[in-house]
Amino acid sequence: MSRHTLPARVGPREVLGLAWPVIVSMLSFTLMAAADAVFVGWLGTASLAAIGIASTALFLVRSFGVGLLSGVRIVVAQRVGAGSHGVATRAGWQALWVVGALSLASWALLPFASILLVALGAEGALLAEASAYLQPRLLAAPVSFGLFGLTAWFQGRGDTRTPMVANVLANLLNIALDPMLIFGFGPLPAMGMAGAAWASNLGEAVGFAFLLARFVREGVAVSARPHRAVLLAVARLGAPLGVQGLLQMGSFAVFVAVLARAGEAHLAAHVVVIRIVLLSFLPGLGVANATGVLVGQATGARRPAIAAQAVRAGLSLAVGAMAVFALLFVAVPGVFIAPFDPAPEVRALVAQLLLIAAAFQVLDALMVVLFHSLSAVGDTRFVTRVSVLAAWFVKLPLGTALALPLGLGAVGAWLGLTAEIVLLALVFAARARALGLFAAVEPADGPEPAAAR
């Protein structure tokens, strides 16, 4: 399928054609995160807990920016669907202007990094190790945001293969550098946690450079100056997702702080299972991303029947793939746990958490496909409100009550997370049905794309 052409009909084959490069890209990121956790885990349980806290702090700092840049994908997809390829190309330059502003904001937060880590439960040696990872990662904001912003631009055009190549290159380099920089190699000194951070930074720099070179070659035909209308369209669609990401990640940060209070073993088990679940989440998230691109292009082209076909195809693929992982978590949990080689008390907790993860896999697939689909039609404010309410008024109070006062620790916290996913899946399904995203009726004049309003 051409990256600029909306197919006459969308089924699982068309969705998968866009999704598999996204899945490969995300797999490389997951392997990067897993590699960091595996190599750092060899330093001890405290180090594994520290990278969990530092990673949470990093995601919290970046969450608004990542959500805002997601608006680039929506704008580009809708403009490509409408045939406005010049506007779609110009959006790439606007993404780079946004990246510059986000990078300055991240650097401004550097003096407060330790305060954030303390708020998440780090103290003493744990604080020192978490700081050693977080500080270098914050310095690399331009390449991190740049990689994400240009990935969103290429994906919005329907080109998921170019960012796949960039992300695979980035993460292969990261995995190769991890043991050398963490433990030392030849003249390179052992850097510990800082080594894991710089391995990630160097990998992302290579990926960003690759995408930037490809983009400049295509984007030279349009002006690189800030364009008010395109920036406003990106902000209108991306800002709610940025707020959603920030507040939801904030709730997750509190979630991690609760686990830190439950003990190092509970926090370490959470870190391990998060890394494992990121693997199972890949097919669903990759399919959801591809579904969102097709829904956005169909919205721009005013073809609601095509959008509905994409949603149904995406749901069938995502639910099927994540159901397979649910069965594997129950049948062979040891296969997923073994690479981390956790301490016995951590291993026991991981096994319990994997059973909980297995229980919500299918609803998680439903939730993420509908989240991206609703965002693609411009319904970003609704998904923001519902996501924030579920995170702060379901997951946190229920998870905290089960984890601490009732003494269930990580298991209780993850039961609260399960309740959040169930609620989001049900609400998003009702919203999608109300907007006609499950229907196949195409009126003569479809709805005006949100990016054009």
The DSSP call for residue 447 is P
Secondary structure of residue 14 in the 3-state scheme = helix
For 114-128, 132-146, 195-209, 432-446, which range has the lowest pLDDT when averaged over its residues? 432-446
The pLDDT, as a whole number, for residue 3 is: 46
Nearest to 450 by CA among 440, 438, 435: 435
Beta strands in 297-397 (DSSP E): none
- Give percent above pLDDT 70 in the chain: 95
pLDDT tens for 259-304 read 888 888 898 888 888 878 877 888 898 999 999 999 999 999 899 9
pLDDT bin (cut points 50, 70, 90) of residue 25 is: confident
The pLDDT, as a whole number, for residue 5 is: 63
Q: Please state the φ and ψ torsions of residue 185, each to the nearest 5 degrees.
A: -155, 115
Collect all residues with Cβ–Cβ distance below 8 Å to 124 and sequence separation of at least 6: none
pLDDT tens for 47-65 read 878 888 888 889 889 999 9
The answer, yes or no, to whether residue 450 has pLDDT greater than 70, is no
The answer, yes or no, to whether residue 444 has pLDDT greater than 50, is no
The answer, yes or no, to whether residue 445 has pLDDT greater than 60, is no
Tokens 């190309």 appear where?
A: 89
Nearest to 249 by CA among 66, 371, 51: 66
- Taking a C-beta distance cutoff of 8 angstroms, is the pair 25, 150 a contact? no
The answer, yes or no, to whether residue 163 has pLDDT greater than 50, is yes
- Mean pLDDT (whole number) for 56-76: 92
Distance CA 5, CA 340 (A): 44
Distance CA 139, CA 120 (A): 20
The pLDDT, as a whole number, for residue 23 is: 86
- Mean pLDDT (whole number) for 33-49: 77
pLDDT tens for 329-380 read 999 998 988 887 788 888 999 999 999 999 989 899 999 999 999 999 999 9
pLDDT bin (cut points 50, 70, 90) of residue 382 is: very high
pLDDT bin (cut points 50, 70, 90) of residue 442 is: low
- Mean pLDDT (whole number) for 7-23: 87
Cα 264 to its chain centre, rounded Å, is 25
Nearest to 312 by CA among 158, 156, 439, 160: 439
Beta bridge partners of 185: 188
The pLDDT, as a whole number, for residue 312 is: 94
The answer, yes or no, to whether residue 1 has pLDDT greater than 70, is no
What single letter denotes the amino acid at residue 50?
A: A
Six-digit token string for 105: 């904001």
The pLDDT, as a whole number, for residue 440 is: 56
Six-digit token string for 344: 């016995």
Regarding pTM above 0.85, the answer is no
- Taking a C-beta distance cutoff of 8 angstroms, is the pair 71, 238 a contact? yes
Collect all residues with Cβ–Cβ distance below 8 Å to 262 and sequence separation of at least 6: 403, 404, 409, 410, 413
Assign residue 169 a region (left: φ > 0; alpha: ψ between -120 and 50; beta: otherwise).
alpha
The pLDDT, as a whole number, for residue 446 is: 44
Tokens 């949603």 appear where?
A: 311
Cα 18–Cα 21–Cα 23 angle in degrees, nearest 5: 100
Q: If you write DSSP's letter for every residue of 273-326 in order, what string do you get?
A: HHHHHHHHHHHHHHHHHHHHHHHHHHHHTT-HHHHHHHHHHHHHHHHHHHHHHH
The answer, yes or no, to whether residue 2 has pLDDT greater than 70, is no
pLDDT tens for 107-138 read 999 999 999 999 887 888 889 999 999 999 99
Distance CA 391, CA 2 (A): 38
The pLDDT, as a whole number, for residue 453 is: 43
The pLDDT, as a whole number, for residue 197 is: 92
- Taking a C-beta distance cutoff of 8 angstroms, is the pair 22, 282 a contact? no
The distance between the two most distant Cα atoms of the chain, rounded to a whole number of Å, is 69
Beta strands in 200-248 (DSSP E): none
Q: Tell me the pLDDT of the chain averaged across its residues.
A: 88
Beta bridge partners of 188: 185
- Mean pLDDT (whole number) for 388-406: 92
The answer, yes or no, to whether residue 447 has pLDDT greater than 80, is no
pLDDT tens for 251-270 read 877 887 888 888 888 988 88
Collect all residues with Cβ–Cβ distance below 8 Å to 323 and sequence separation of at least 6: 361, 362, 365
Tokens 């450079």 appear where?
A: 209
